[in-house]
Structure 1
Amino acid sequence: EEPMSICYMKRYIADTEKKAKGAPQFPTPAASTGKKVAIIGAGPAGMAAAYYLALAGHKVTVFESHAKSGGMLRYGIPYYRLPDSVLMDEFGAIEKLGVEVKYNTAIGRDIKAKELEKDFDALLIAAGAQGSSSMRIDGEKNPGIYAGIDVLGKVAEGQKVDLGTKTFIVGGGNTAIDAARTAVRLGSKAIILYRRTRAEMPASDFEIEEALAEGVEIQYLTAPLAAEKTVDGLALKCIKMQLGEPDASGRRSPVPVEGSEFTESCTSIIAAIGQRVLADCFADLGVELTKKGTLAVDPKTFMTTRPGIFAAGDCQSGADIAVRAAAAGRKAAYSINQYLAGEEVTGEPVLFNSSMGALSEVPESLFEGKEKASRITMPVIEMDKRKSSFQEIETGFTSEKARKEAMRCLKCGCEKEKDCKLREYATRYGADAHLFKGERRGYDRDDSHDDIRIETGKCISCGSCVRACAEIKGLNILSFDGRGFKTRMHAPFGHSLVDTKCDGCGECVKVCPTGAIMGKK
């Protein structure tokens, strides 16, 4: 079966909450700490950090060079995928927590980074990767040749962008796909040139298929060599490639095919081959950079080489997906909290996690009785509307579709994840399961009872369930079998729970600290 549509289900919940309550509902911030934090960049990393720092009671001021917040969520993802209204709701709610955003304020142009260091108790750099990588070809500076993120940004700002009738997009990532689909909506024939094959293309398969459905063409194993200005537009000289040995990324390196050069005419060219950090404006802070040109940080605390100055998001990791930038902002906020409290800055603790093995190793028999069902597809608008406007393509799940998709869940995760005592103590004391050698418990589950599920692999033999059953119910439905490491808790004499007098009262569930016994309802 196909995987669950987790993203679509999250969207359904958000859409439903918005209809019922309007703006997103956030907790009430803690009392003021009197501490001030400056954040450079109102993108996913910066605003995620602002959210958590504001909840902690700090006064947060964000400095944003654009007229609106969102960063690459707004200026790098087209509105047909992520509408302006959604961004306004989400980021507007963060500002209502007391976060001040100074728009149209660029570091280096309007204010020096060094001034922020002096005026605030801590500084977080979350400026993203706003620069475009060069194609390194002759004629790259000719009129009609654009950077992918520049085109997407101008369209997001409502500026007029004239690409003409035929556009070549150079690159194979999601930015290249977004630029190509944007070109289609601007009335241009969009052709992507990628120097490897579909198998090596870094863009998501879903986005590639969406682009192809909208009429975008992709020429694989093709690389640009030079661009020239012509009377009618541009001439792009290209060469065919073949795959050689793998490079540092693990992908096979493209090698030019001798004598395969050819020239194509077009009206515009969009370069979407990568992004880089524009770090010059932070030079006065004295923070160190990596060989890649990103800000060097402690990977656990996100603190730079200067105490009190932190960095998170693309400016620290290099261009990456938005959800990881938001996570980095949350983690940086945790460290900033520690710094402002005068504590040792150790970073967000990594929760102990122990797996029963790969999901592919779980026997199919454990899911007997589960009806197989195809993944529910997301409703979309008509193709003509898609190609001629920036209207949001996906319309969202109905309640019925969401219910059907939710019913497909096999519940393969641990339902005790949020309050597992074993996890809590293992995290607190730094337990490492990999240090224990020898025999390991296998995955075993008694799912026979209508109300109770037993997974003995999670049992720590504390005896709480045995005592609860005996002392509260006066029954001996649960017992231990075996000695030492092989001790197991289950129904007596190898019986299944359904063959006992268990009435599903749940007293054993209440006292189990690890989720070895869980209720089904």
Structure 2
Amino acid sequence: MANEKQTAESSRTFRRYEDGDTTPESWQDYIFKAGWSYKCPVYVQRTPTCQNGCPAGEDIRGWLDVVRGLDKPPAEVSWQEHAFRRLTRANPFPGIMGYVCPAPCEEGCNRRAVEDHVGINAVEQFIGEAALAGRFHFAKPLEESGKRVAIIGGGPGGLACAYQLRLKGHACTIFEAREQLGGMLRYGLPNYRTPPAVVEGEIQRILDLGVTIKTGVRVGRDVSFEDLDRDFDAVFWAIGTQVGRIPEIPGAHAPNCVGGIEFLREFNEGRMPSVPRRIVVVGGGDTSIDVTTVARKLGGFAATKPDGSPLTYTADMVTQAAIHSGQKVTLTSVLPTAKLKASEREVEDARSLDVAILGNVMPLAVTLDADGRACGVRFAPCEHGKDGKRVRVPGDEIEIPADLVVFAIGQVADMTGLEALDNGRHAIAAGPGLQVLGHPKHFVGGDIITPHLLATAIGHATVAADGIDALLKGQAVARRPHIDKRHFDIREGLPTRALPVDGKVTSPAFVHNFEDRAHREVIKSDALFLAHFSTTPRLARTERRLAEIFTEGGTRIMPLDEAQAVAEAKRCMSCGLCLECDNCVVFCPQVAVKKVPRDQKALGYYVTTDYTRCIGCHICADVCPAGYIQMGLGE
């Protein structure tokens, strides 16, 4: 019986014949079947699965091709800067993303069909760190449009929109209710997950484009909706969801019951000198894990003022108070412990800090003492029915003692003063192009539409910025493509000598018989020649345990070095775009497939076909590892 390794090797092996075949097929019959004889190679660009899974819409294959050396940088530009510029067309926060993004791109990576996904997030982290170390900056717009855009909210979505709009030449003013920009990056994540220097550096790089900021100003209180309409040509709403949702159960509004976001904000601002002895956290997602690990081991963080000086309390002070009090932290979830929404590594860290995790329980009520403060939480066993709704199941109720109850079950927006935009669910309704319904000058993005990932807010910012740009130019907000990402354009890298006399290419077909289907087609692993790729283990980053961070300081995820980042990028299979492997040139029996002249080649323009020689034998398509060659001339 074949073992797993043999099965995996077999699945990656291309075979013209299968076991049991005894008679070879006539090559003449294979090539000249009715209706097939005209089929010759066409070069088809499709969207890779990693890019399709990226909510920020990054051209992941493109910047990985830079790191691996396929896409050469211009003269006097390092490959690190070239990769940075390719990546940040969609996302201005490569360093931050490298630390905190759960990397949905990796879940769909076609390399999984060989052995393991490419460490996309690890390479992104390296690029982000290299950009900060090299002091890479964004190029300011060559011309100013004279248009003014108000951006409400200085979190990642608002900052990303300001970045995209400044590149288009529009003046931007960010209104932020808090004293510092950053939103959830600064106030909602522990510093061991996002180093403050990375957050500060990537925010400042955007501000250096000439963004006006007004902090400590709350729209709806200090500035009215009517003021924005009068003073600005367009408005982008990125106010996020700043208030933790509290369940509608008895006792949940006691003074020592708080939302998970508020709890983390208190710590990140250094305003909580100690924590109670018994803490019950209701949740199961990443925020709830952050709460439990912070409360159990790290305590407060050495949050800093703008000048870099520490705020009131240090991590040591708070943590010692927690540990010496014999603190007990319990995390509960309506989901089974094996199916918590938090990432596996976060759950394991919580367990390593002796956090008790209890699944399949639903909160019934918060028990109050004589002073009206929470002293426990009562739970009942539950499970999820076929419709996805939780239902109570037979079993004894339990009560967990608590001096503090933290509800990390989601967030809602504070719409005070913004009732004109409230869709009735503490959110803003968006139409096509993320225009606010009923308010054509206004656009919206991020968690205020629906809470999701940091990358999602950044993707929304790009879509909204494009819509705002169209509006300010007097154009209709365009319908978005089916696959709405930042796509590679083959024409960008073509040398001048490869272009027509006027230096312009109006159609990619000028290059060779090329079709760009990236806006409507995703390439899957079954379209690749997987046998081309040898088994190459992923270079995983070092992930430190929280106990180690507590004693030694630093961050959780350690970046790859340069050699490791390049090696990991070389594992990318360049799905849907030429890998420059020479297979099609080597195996073509008619010598019909040839390399383009060296001084004309560019990424995606590496080979061409002499159709006077091609007999449609399909061999070039069969051995193309990236699935870039398709037979059919336009089919």
Regarding TM over 0.5, the answer is yes
| Counterpart in the other structure of 1:294 | 427
| Counterpart in the other structure of 2:524 | 358
2:569 is the counterpart of 1:406:
yes
Q: Secondary structure at the match of 1:164?
A: coil
Where do 1:91-490 residues align within 5 Å? 91-184=203-296, 185-186=298-299, 187=322, 188-230=327-369, 234-247=374-387, 251=388, 253-258=389-394, 260-283=396-419, 286-287=420-421, 289=423, 292-316=425-449, 318-346=450-478, 348-350=480-482, 352-353=517-518, 355=521, 358-359=524-525, 361-362=526-527, 366-368=529-531, 370-381=533-544, 383-387=546-550, 391-415=554-578, 448=583, 479-481=613-615
- Name the CA distance, whole Å, in 2 between partners of 1:68 and 1:293: 24
- Return the letter of the residue paired with 1:219: L
- Deviation of 1:269 (Å): 1.2
Q: Secondary structure at the match of 1:300?
A: helix
- Return the letter of the residue paired with 1:17: A
- Name the CA distance, whole Å, in 1 between partners of 2:583 and 2:567: 24
- Would the alpha carbon gap of residues 307 and 299 (structure 1) be closer, same or farther in structure 2, given more than 3 Å must change? closer
- Name the CA distance, whole Å, in 1 between partners of 2:415 and 2:145: 31
- Name the CA distance, whole Å, in 2 between partners of 1:215 and 1:273: 22
1:107-130, Cα deviation, whole Å (9 max, x unpaired): 122221221111111111110111
- Name the CA distance, whole Å, in 1 between partners of 2:595 and 2:561: 46
- Name the CA distance, whole Å, in 1 between partners of 2:435 and 2:338: 34
| More displaced stretch, 394-403 vs 47-56 | 394-403
- Name the CA distance, whole Å, in 2 between partners of 1:516 and 1:350: 22
- Name the CA distance, whole Å, in 2 between partners of 1:495 and 1:256: 55
- Deviation of 1:97 (Å): 0.6
CA contact (8 A) 1:466 1:478 kept: no
CA contact (8 A) 2:366 2:378 kept: no
Percentage of matched positions with identical amino acids: 26
- Deviation of 1:305 (Å): 1.7
| More displaced stretch, 231-240 vs 162-171 | 231-240
Bigger relative contact order (CA 8 A; separation at least 6): 2
- Name the CA distance, whole Å, in 1 between partners of 2:173 and 2:610: 61
- Would the alpha carbon gap of residues 25 and 308 (structure 1) be closer, same or farther in structure 2, given more than 3 Å must change? same
CA contact (8 A) 2:541 2:558 kept: yes
| More displaced stretch, 54-63 vs 155-164 | 155-164
- Deviation of 1:17 (Å): 2.5
1:272-324, Cα deviation, whole Å (9 max, x unpaired): 111112223222xx3461x54321111334343212111111112x2111100
- Name the CA distance, whole Å, in 2 between partners of 1:399 and 1:276: 41
1:362-385, Cα deviation, whole Å (9 max, x unpaired): 57xx33353323332222445433
| More displaced stretch, 347-356 vs 62-71 | 347-356
- Would the alpha carbon gap of residues 147 and 467 (structure 1) be closer, same or farther in structure 2, given more than 3 Å must change? closer
- Name the CA distance, whole Å, in 1 between partners of 2:427 and 2:586: 51
2:153 is the counterpart of 1:41:
yes
- Deviation of 1:410 (Å): 3.2
- Deviation of 1:405 (Å): 2.5
- Name the CA distance, whole Å, in 2 between partners of 1:229 and 1:495: 70
- Deviation of 1:160 (Å): 1.8
- Return the letter of the residue paired with 2:411: Q
1:100-159, Cα deviation, whole Å (9 max, x unpaired): 110111112222122111111111111011122122222222232211000111222222
- Name the CA distance, whole Å, in 2 between partners of 1:468 and 1:388: 58
1:313-337, Cα deviation, whole Å (9 max, x unpaired): 1112x21111000110111011000
- Name the CA distance, whole Å, in 1 between partners of 2:543 and 2:630: 42
Where do 1:6-45 residues align within 5 Å? 6-19=120-133, 21-22=134-135, 24-45=136-157
- Deviation of 1:411 (Å): 3.2
- Return the letter of the residue paired with 1:322: L
CA contact (8 A) 1:480 1:489 kept: no
Q: Alignment length, in residue pairs?
A: 441
- Return the letter of the residue paired with 2:613: S
**TM-score after normalising by structure 1:** 0.76
Consecutive unaligned residues in structure 1, runs of 5 or more: 417-444, 455-463, 483-487, 498-513
1:472-507, Cα deviation, whole Å (9 max, x unpaired): 99x96973335xxxxx6767xx9989xxxxxxxxxx
- Deviation of 1:358 (Å): 3.1
CA contact (8 A) 2:381 2:395 kept: no
